[in-house]
């Protein structure tokens, strides 16, 4: 089964990771990478997790009462039965849940991803073959440079100006493509003057 690639904002959203080992560490790091407020719960929790800034650690056995108002939950213990129990409790409360390596207990899955600034590229094989997702990630990695993240921010900052100076989606698309090409050719962000000239050449009124 293929999964719909929906991107979800997790900044400041409460997320629970059940489990305190290496798998839990990886999942907590991924959630933190997107600004989530992470709580990790397990009788024993790795020191690396405890040392993660902003992560709340609850060193206790999981109970059904722990499934509260979470934005999502990850079952990352080494106990398949417990992971399934966590999954069912979450599904009953309509909370998105991922049970690591138990695809039948997942309502969402973690993709292999690359992130530069606000730009994210994600790859999934529908849980069938993580090695394929990792292969695609490795193929994309050379193109996902820090410049791409910086350029996304740059283009986002000029959206209103471009909208004011164009009359069609086609013209706006052409401006963005020209600025993208300019940045990639020089391997650096275009200057304000270069951006102004590009908008002026492709747009209608003189840009502010």
Confidence (pLDDT) at 14:
98
Band of pLDDT at residue 182, cut at 50, 70 and 90: very high
How far is residue 85 from each of residues 19, 23, 27, 68, 124, measured CA to CA in Å? 13, 18, 19, 15, 25
Alpha-carbon gap, residue 84 to 97, rounded angstroms: 10
Same domain? For 42 and 102 the reply is yes
Q: Are both 105 and 21 inside the same structural domain?
A: yes
Q: Tell me 108's DSSP state.
A: S
Same domain membership, residue 116 and residue 59: no
CA distances from 194 to 89, 189, 201 (A): 56, 10, 11
CA distance 166 to 175: 9
- What is the span of the domain harbouring residue 126? 111-144
Average pLDDT value over all residues in the chain: 94
pLDDT tens, 46-94? 999 999 999 999 999 999 999 999 999 999 999 999 999 999 999 999 9
Residues 66 and 163 reside in one and the same domain: no
150/197 same-domain check: yes
Instruction: Tell me the mean pLDDT in the region 149-174.
Output: 93
Question: How many domains are there within the chain?
Answer: 3
Is the residue at 180 inside a domain? yes
Return the closest-CA partner of residue 121 out of 100, 103, 101, 136.
136
24 assigned to some structural domain: yes
Pair 85, 130 in one domain: no
Domain shared by 4 and 69, yes or no: yes
Domain membership flag for residue 208: no
Q: Are 121 and 155 found together in one domain?
A: no
Task: Give yes or no: residues 152 and 185 share one domain.
Answer: yes
pLDDT tier for residue 204 given thresholds of 50, 70 and 90: low
Q: Are residues 75 and 135 in the same domain?
A: no
Do 58 and 105 belong to one domain? yes
Tell me the pTM: 0.85
The CATH number covering residue 99 comes to 3.40.50.720
Same-domain status, 153 and 61: no
């Amino acid at each position: 089964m293929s999964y719909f690639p929906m991107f979800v904002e997790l900044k400041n959203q409460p997320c629970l990771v059940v489990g305190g080992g290496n798998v839990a560490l990886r999942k907590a790091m991924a959630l933190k990478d997107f600004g989530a407020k992470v709580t990790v719960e397990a009788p024993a929790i790795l020191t690396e997790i405890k040392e993660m800034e902003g992560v709340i650690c609850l060193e206790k056995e999981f109970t059904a009462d722990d499934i509260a108002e979470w934005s999502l939950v990850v079952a990352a213990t080494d106990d398949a039965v417990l992971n399934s129990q966590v999954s069912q409790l979450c599904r009953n409360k309509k909370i998105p849940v991922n049970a690591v390596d138990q695809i039948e207990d997942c309502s969402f899955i973690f993709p292999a991803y690359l992130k530069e600034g606000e730009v994210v590229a994600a790859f999934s094989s529908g849980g069938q073959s993580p090695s394929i997702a990792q292969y695609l990630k490795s193929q994309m990695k050379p193109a996902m440079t820090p410049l791409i993240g910086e350029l996304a921010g740059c283009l986002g900052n000029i959206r209103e100006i471009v909208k004011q100076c164009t009359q069609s989606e086609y013209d706006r698309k052409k401006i963005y493509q020209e600025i993208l090409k300019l940045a990639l050719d020089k391997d650096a962000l275009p200057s304000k003057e270069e951006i102004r000239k590009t908008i002026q050449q492709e747009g209608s009124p003189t840009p502010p």
